[in-house]
Amino acid sequence: MTALWVMIAGALGAMGRFSLDRVIERAFHRPTVAGIVVVNLVGSFVLGAIIGASVHTGGGSPLPHLSTTTSVALTAGLCGGFTTFSTAMADTLRLFQDGRSGQALFHLFGTFAGAVMCCQLGYAFFA
Amino acid sequence: MDSDQAYVSDVVEQDAPLASITWRELAVVGLGGALGVGLRYFVTQSLPEGLQSHGAVGIFTPLLYINTAGAFLLGLVLPLFSHAGRHHLRLGVTTGVIGGFTSYGALADLTRQQIVEHVSSGRVLLDLSVALLLGILAVTFGHFLGARHIRRLGS
């Protein structure tokens, strides 16, 4: 049963990623790696928040305590489906192939550093 | 390399039609996403104990294999779809299945856990570099194979 909820949440996450990415590309009026960067940063923040909410012991988190199934569906499903590693790597490759090696390296490591910070922010705020 | 570049540019063009989102696009992405996320969940649940996380928080978790495999697959299929014009199938497979299969947030959380559990900064940097560099190598190798296959079909 948990697997079904994970898949449903994953579908919602993937649709959310696709929508946000497309909205950002439309705002930029050109193909851009910014969409997936924003998706991965936001997704990491939300993941940290959910993990924080699921480990907290009743002390002051703004989020309610989550059952195991809900927690797995939201983390592995929703956030896992929302964020994407493969497209981030393809975007980095695209920057390298365009000859923008500096941007590619910043995209690769800078985005990840940002994602770790967003995750910790979410965790710290909601734990 | 020139022809590789052409393929990537084509993919970029198709990746971003900059049109309004259609219900059909959302449906195929959702369906693919459910399959990809379900597959990741199944893999993480069914890997033998020896391949699961090694005790302390470390990078050699199922996620590393999943993300590396997903990056390779995406690199492989992007050139295959670049001239096919199958917009919805491409979206379902790339954005949906492969995008859902891999997870960036989980990797970020793994690194966050390492930091808060006071794993040495050298180890944290090594682990995250391994994960990211394996990813970029995998997508590059996959793309090389996919583009070569397309070139052979064309010649």
Write down the ipTM of this complex: 0.92
pLDDT digits (tens, 9 = 90+) for B73-104: 999 999 988 766 788 999 999 999 999 999 99
- Residue (of B147, B4, B150, B135) closest to B72 by Cα position: B135
- Residue (of A16, A24, A12) closest to A74 by Cα position: A12
Query: Among A14-18, A120-124, B17-21, B129-133, where is mean pLDDT lowest?
Result: B17-21
**B36 neighbourhood in chain A, CB within 8 Å:** 10, 14, 81
Distance (Å, whole) CA B93 – CA B35: 10
Give the nearest chain A residue to B105 (CA atoms): A44
Distance (Å, whole) CA B82 – CA A22: 19
- Average per-residue pLDDT in chain A? 92
- Output the six-digit token pair for A41: 């940063």
Please give the DSSP secondary-structure letter assigned to residue B40. H
pLDDT digits (tens, 9 = 90+) for A14-52: 999 999 999 999 999 888 999 999 999 999 999 999 998
**Where exactly are the structural domains of chain A?**
2-126
Q: Read off the pLDDT band of B7 (50, 70, 90).
A: very low
Chain A contacts in chain B segment 30-59 (CB below 8 A): 30-38, 40-42, 44
User: Environment class of residue B127 by beta-carbon count within 10 Å: exposed (0-12), middle (13-18) or buried (19+)?
Assistant: buried
Distance (Å, whole) CA A57 – CA B88: 45
Q: Cα A38–B28–A73 angle (5° rounding)?
A: 60
Instruction: Report yes or no: B146 at the A interface, CB cutoff 8 Å.
Output: no
Distance (Å, whole) CA A79 – CA A31: 24
State in Å, rounded, how far the first CA of chain A is from the last one.
27
Asked if B101 contacts A111 with a C-beta cutoff of 8 angstroms, the reply is no
**Where exactly are the structural domains of chain B?**
2-154
CB contact under 8 A, B71 and A90: yes
Chain A contacts in chain B segment 60-99 (CB below 8 A): 67, 70-71, 73-75, 78, 91, 94-96, 98-99
Q: What is the dihedral of CA B141, A40, A77, B56, to 10 degrees?
A: 80
pLDDT digits (tens, 9 = 90+) for B14-59: 454 577 899 999 999 999 999 999 999 999 888 765 555 544 455 6
